[in-house]
Amino acid sequence: MPTRLIPFMMTTVVASLIGCASDNEISVQRQELRTDEDTYNIDIVAVGERQTIPITLQSVGPGSVTIYSITSSDPDHFVVLPSWAQTDSDGDGVADQLKLQRGTENDPTQEIVEVNFRPDADGFFRGQLTILSDDSTTTERTEDDKGIIRVAIRGIGRVPCAEVFPKQVDFGLRPAGGYFSESLSIRNCGEAPLTISSFQVDGSSSFYGASATPIYIFEGETKQAEVAWIPSSNNPEYADLGITINDPNFPEGIPLMGNDCENSKHSDWDADGDGWRSCLGDCDDTDPEVHPGAYEVPNNKDDNCNGDKDEAFDETVDLDFDGFSPAEGDCAEGDPNINPDMEETLNGYDDNCDGLIDNNTDGYDDDEDGLTELEGDCDDNSADVHPDIEEVENGIDDNCNGFIDEGSEAFDDDRDGFSEAEGDCDDRDPWVWPDNTEDCDGVDNNCDGQIDEGEDGTENGACSFIVEREETQTIEAPQGGCNQSGGRLSSLGWLLLLGLLIRPRREQ
């Protein structure tokens, strides 16, 4: 077995022997560095964003430790920030080393190294940090006798997903000069945290985003954002609300409108609830029996809003020449765009005379579950599907969150590509799935029934990088170990010193 001189111990040992620090014991001053974890986990980070995590360095020996360098095996995704260095060893004006004073196992001296995770794609990232220091206990060393410590680091990158409801905001009828607000619901439909950085409005200075930013929305959460309007007049106003958010597929603008009777679905414009707005022909918006689609009856009122009262009315005559008379189902004989052959559109009219207004459009609650498609209902033909319902295992996205049967064995709850039904032995941990790479984390990452094993029988398995250390050495000296000739060593003293300086060392 080869031997190696340990020059860094010489000063301490000689001083102890010659200076007679103790008549009974001589101790080698141990320099020992450690980290508080072997594998560091980083939470899911949005692709294109950054997250910094702390790596704790600890000095636990009676001698101070100097750190010379910290390098990353994947500097594109795991960046060691230079703030760890505190002293300038070469005088070039740039700090390049860190010194930790002595500590103990129970009361270590600590410093933080910051590592910045920068995912540039959707997926899993692994790296390793290599720390070089004058730690005297590590068995793995560089050619110039620096101690080597390694730690693993890993993180997940995910593309953010956001949904907004309603998809347009209608303020209805509002007087000039007042302050009015409406709410937008923004839901995180992915794994990565959503960040709303700002709101912008194009097309009008009267509308604006009223919620303070930034707004953070985590997985499964829905938060409200307020949009405000101060009408500058009683005329219609329009704008697009832009939301700066980290979802690359988020809509570019949310349409905003106010004081627009013709295109609004707001209840402000239909005071009597008869489905007809005053700006579109209702000559008495306080009486639901009076509107352009009503039949004229002898009551001294203009029931059908054609300007005449109690006029004779022949239901067989097609007065608007749309091909249908009232007897044939035309519910608005004065409007050729309303008849049984028309397609229903989102406009506040019963276009096809079926007795329903805007049915089968995104703004109508067709299944009567309380929500329209504009409000987030992903299946408006089923009352059992909407955002407020509980998910059950049935092959359907019951709660309209973009996932089917989450929480069941058939669903990949941790989004690692495998469900429990497909062999995932821990569907709560995204670092566990069949055939995964085994990590040094005390977990069966690849679901083979073994923990932290390595490939091809590698010694120490996935934890092979963990530092190995030599035992602390203490040298016993005889009573009266200091002679009377001013500190000259006896033969026994020199033999003890030689035994310290030349010791067997295992090849690395």
Condensed to tens digits (0 to 9), the pLDDT of residues 199-234 reads 999 877 899 999 999 999 999 899 999 999 999 999
Q: What is the pLDDT of residue 13?
A: 41
| Confidence tier at 27 by pLDDT (50, 70, 90) | low
Per-residue exposure over 478-500, b if at least 16 CB sit within 10 Å of its own CB, e if not: eeebbeeeeeebbeebeebbeeb
Percent of residues, the chain, with pLDDT higher than 70: 86
| Confidence tier at 306 by pLDDT (50, 70, 90) | confident
Work out whether strand 502-504 and strand 3-5 pair parallel, antiparallel, or are unpaired. antiparallel
Q: Which residue has the higher pLDDT, 436 or 265?
A: 436
Mean pLDDT of 68-93: 96
CA separation for the pair 80, 117 (Å, rounded) = 9
pLDDT digits (tens, 9 = 90+) for 50-65: 999 999 999 999 999 9
Q: What is the pLDDT of residue 487?
A: 42
Locate tokens 């953070």: which residue? 216
CA separation for the pair 396, 384 (Å, rounded) = 10
pLDDT digits (tens, 9 = 90+) for 238-253: 999 999 999 999 988 9
Q: What is the pLDDT of residue 15?
A: 39
pTM of the model: 0.74
pLDDT digits (tens, 9 = 90+) for 329-338: 998 877 888 9
Classify 289 as helix, strand or coil.
coil
Is the predicted pLDDT of residue 491 greater than 60, yes or no?
A: no
Are 82 and 95 in contact by the 8 Å Cβ rule? The answer is: yes
Taken in order of first residue, the domains within the chain and their CATH numbers are: 3-28+473-504 (no CATH), 33-158 (2.60.40.10), 162-258 (2.60.40.10)
3-state helix/strand/coil string of 129-160: EEEEECCCCECCECCCCCEEEEEEEEEEEECC
* Alpha-carbon separation of residue 225 from 167, 214, 217, 493 (angstroms): 13, 11, 11, 79
Summary mean pLDDT of the chain: 86
- Taken in order 42, 132, 120, 225, the sign of the CA dihedral is positive
| Confidence tier at 499 by pLDDT (50, 70, 90) | low
Strand partners, 378: none
Q: In the structure encoding, which two tokens stand for residue 81, read together?
A: 């920030």
For 359, residues 6+ apart whose C-beta sits below 8 A from its C-beta are 344, 366
Q: What is the pLDDT of residue 407?
A: 81
**Residue 501, exposed/middle/buried by CB under 10 A (0-12, 13-18, 19+)?**
middle
* Phi, psi dihedrals of residue 82, rounded to the nearest 5°: -70, -5
Is the predicted pLDDT of residue 140 greater than 90, yes or no?
A: yes
Are 157 and 122 in contact by the 8 Å Cβ rule? The answer is: yes
Classify 441 as helix, strand or coil.
coil
Q: In the structure encoding, which two tokens stand for residue 38, read together?
A: 């072997």
CA separation for the pair 419, 488 (Å, rounded) = 74
CA separation for the pair 94, 230 (Å, rounded) = 55
Closest CA to 150 of 435, 465, 389, 405: 465
